[in-house]
Structure 1
Amino acid sequence: MLDTVREIHTPEGVALRLHAAGPVPRAFAWLIDLAIRAGLVLLASMFLALLGRFGTGVYLVFLFVVIWAYPVAFEALWDGQTPGKRALGLRVVSADGAPVGWMASFVRNLMRTVDMLPFGYAFGLASSLVDPWGRRLGDVVARTMVVHVPRARGPVELPAGPATVPAAPLLPGEQAAVIAFAERAWALTPQRRQELADIAAPLTGSRGEAGMRRLFGIAHWLLGRAS
């Protein structure tokens, strides 16, 4: 199975993990945008048909704007998202994880004329299947990629209990592991929770339910919570 996570290190030393989007969610997002544009064109044609030849000229200009300016304007002004991409939780970003700019958005959308060839986005699909991060030719040329937007996580409630000071200083990785266990315990089966707690027995000095309660207590202490 291919790993579609691209890890980028910023000059500040921060590691960004970008989850690349595959062709299926991107295709559904494109279909949503296509339906929106078709609806706009249909409404405009019904209204502008009443204006005769002048309406025809305005309609052609409007058609050009909807086809070419719609994706560029939305991606550049709406945090890399068109309505279709936002509905599917997708976003266009630069290859270094920065927000996409006007020129990059223009280039990636202009390259759709190549990605569409010879029919049905065949070149674009072939490119996204070969590229490790699912990029079509337009993304490769514009140095952009489409990623899944991370879901916002609300505060996680830990199991109630008193804070417990660990018996020995914990390394950063050990601290992160204890907090992760406490935050995700609700999603684990009782047997799996106890198994993980037993692995940490050298840290807690206890096994079973007692070890589990001590891990929760240490997590409370690490997060600065009294209970």
Structure 2
Amino acid sequence: MIAGDRLDTIFHIATPEGCAIDLRVAGPVARARAWFLDFLVRLMIWLLLAISASMLGDFGFGLLLLGAFLLEWFYPIVFEVYGQGQTPGKRSCGLAVVHDDGRPIGWSAAFIRNTLRGIDFLPLLYAAGFVSSLMNAQGKRIGDLAAGTLVVHVAGVRRLPAGEGDVGGEAPPFALTRDEQVAVIEFSQRVAALTPERAAELAAAAGPLTAGLDGEAAQRRLQRIGNFLLGNRVLKGPG
């Protein structure tokens, strides 16, 4: 397989529970664009810190060094954990970081993949990470390989029935296990291909998540929860 065939392809996840999830893997161009946008955000914050620190003398210089360290190492980690796998740059480009099985990223994986960015950068300009992304079908840099993560496109992941519009995202009412997260994500992606009867049957089986709802209302809640788990939490505005 040539490198061009490996980029921006659909990654199929088959789980032991019989679920199937399709994720569109992001290629190096999309990821570089997101990185550049994040770089601009960090640069703007750093410039504001530098202006403020210049007024505080030596103490301000120490604060500036601390701020630069936090921006470089904790900016991506915090956003990926609390932003459903999306830094501001990734969100602008419709990308998100997820685990290999489609689950939202956690602290451990975010820390590993971002700590190893120093290796991916070698010898310069992320050359090692770029070569690594061309040598595996999922486009993973070294940090992703170590953390068990993928960078995927989330814009357009949803498969909604024609004319239904964007159902938005909704947080689950309680913590879900790994298997439950995978099942809900799979339902949110496949509901358009199901018959109304089958979709209603599956929605009814998720009683704790759809308590008090039935039929189409239950289906749409499961879709919203699935979208939330994939990082799409923005509700469609009026008009």
Report TM bin, short chain. 0.5 to 0.7
> Equivalents in 1 of 2:83, 2:193: separation in Å?
34
| Aligned match of 2:136 | 131
AA paired with 1:101?
G
Name the amino acid aligned to 2:98. Answer: V
Compute the displacement of 1:12 (Å): 3.2
What's the CA shift for 1:69? 0.4
TM-superposed deviation, 1:8: 1.0
Looking at both structures, which has the greater relative contact order when contacts are Cα pairs under 8 Å and sequence separation is at least 6? 2
Counterpart in the other structure of 1:18: 23
Instruction: Indicate the residue corresponding to 2:63 in structure 1.
Output: 58
Instruction: Give the secondary structure class of the aligned counterpart of 1:7.
Output: strand
3-state DSSP of counterpart to 1:50: coil
Among 123, 126, 131, the residue aligned to 1:121:
126
Which residue in 2 is equivalent to 1:210?
none
Please report the TM-score for the alignment, with normalisation by the length of structure 1.
Answer: 0.67
Corresponding residue for residue 2 of structure 1: 5
**Contact 2:28–2:133 (CA<8 Å) still a contact in 1?**
yes
SS of 1:145's equivalent in the other structure is strand
Q: In 2, distance between residues paired with 1:104 and 1:154?
A: 30
Give secondary structure in 2 for the equivalent of 1:91: strand
Written as runs of structure 1 = structure 2, the 5 A alignment for 1:168-183 is none
The letter for the 1-side match of 2:22 is R
User: Does 2:63 align with 1:47?
Assistant: no
Q: What per-residue deviation string (whole Å, max 9, x for no partner) do you get for residues 187-209 of structure 1?
A: xxxxxxxxxxxxxxxxxxxxxxx
Structure 1: tracts of 5 or more residues without a match: 159-174, 180-227
Match of 1:212 in 2: none
Q: Which residue number corresponds to residue 217 of structure 1?
A: none
| Number of residues of Structure 1 aligned to a counterpart in Structure 2 | 163
CA shift digits 1:80-104 (9 cap, x unpaired) = 0000000000000011111111111
Deviations 1:119-153 (A, max 9, x none): 11111000111110110011001110100004256
Letter in 1 for 2:162: V
In 1, Cα distance between equivalents of 2:194 and 2:103: 29
Q: Equivalent residue for 2:185?
A: none
Secondary structure class of the residue paired with 2:11: strand
- Unaligned segments of structure 2, at least 5 residues: 165-191, 197-239
1: CA distance between counterparts of 2:25 and 2:193? 25
Q: Distance in 2 between matches of 1:18 and 1:154?
A: 16
Aligned to 1:156: 162
Aligned to 1:17, the other structure's residue is in SS state strand
Q: Deviations over 1:32-62 (max 9, x none)?
A: 0000000100011001110111111111111
What is the rounded CA distance, in whole Å, between the counterparts of 1:176 and 1:105 in structure 2? 33
Residue 74 in 1 paired to residue 88 in 2?
A: no
Deviations 1:133-192 (A, max 9, x none): 11001100111010000425665249xxxxxxxxxxxxxxxx95999xxxxxxxxxxxxx
Q: Does 1:144 align with 2:128?
A: no
**Is structure 2 residue 110 aligned with structure 1 residue 108?**
no
1:133 aligned counterpart, secondary structure: coil
Q: Give the fraction of aligned pairs with identical amino acids, expressed as a percent.
A: 46
- Partner of residue 177, structure 2: none
AA paired with 1:9? A
Q: Which has the larger radius of gyration?
A: 1
Mean Cα deviation higher: 91-100 or 26-35: 91-100
Partner of 2:95: 90
Distance 2:117 2:147 in 1: 12
CA distance in 2, matches of 1:47, 1:177: 57
